[in-house]
Amino acid sequence: MIISWQSHIGKYLHRCDECGEEFNGRKNQQYCNLKCKAKHNNDLAISRRDREKEMTAGYLRNIELVSKELNGLTNEVVTVSMERLLALGFDPTVPNKRVKIEGDLWYQIGPVSYRPLIESNEVELIKLE
């Protein structure tokens, strides 16, 4: 973060985004040294990896939950309540692929698909083979 222009030395006074120390440097400099820059970037990479792990875990959990509800059925629609799916740990925010099945919009997660029915708060599930 820039604090001020230091005209007597031709540099900007900054506060390091990582450690909070003040330092002089170029206008676009964010860190007081390479160690702080590396720490900041490593922390970003760790949180990015953690988010990816959570996303993957949620994706696999959704597939497992829907598969259990389908109980081995393929090419047949099973209807359950959204409350039940959510109570089992289904996460509707996990990325999915939008697909059209017989003209209707479904959300595909791996081998299974689901379609929320807005009027009834139920969800249709299917595994196509």
Task: Provide the minimum distance between the beta carbon of 7 and Zn ion in the complex, in angstroms, as a whole number.
Answer: 24
From candidates 14, 16, 69, 85, binder to Zn ion by CB under 5 A: 16
Interface stretch with Zn ion, choices 27-35, 38-46, 52-60, 103-111 (CB under 5 A): 27-35
Interface stretch with Zn ion, choices 26-34, 61-69, 74-82, 118-126 (CB under 5 A): 26-34
Count of CB atoms within 10 A of residue 106's CB? 21
Interface of this chain with Zn ion, residues 56 to 115, rule: CB under 5 A: none
SS3 34: helix
Query: What is the residue-wise DSSP string for 60-86?
Result: HHHHHHHHHHHTT--SS-EEEEHHHHH
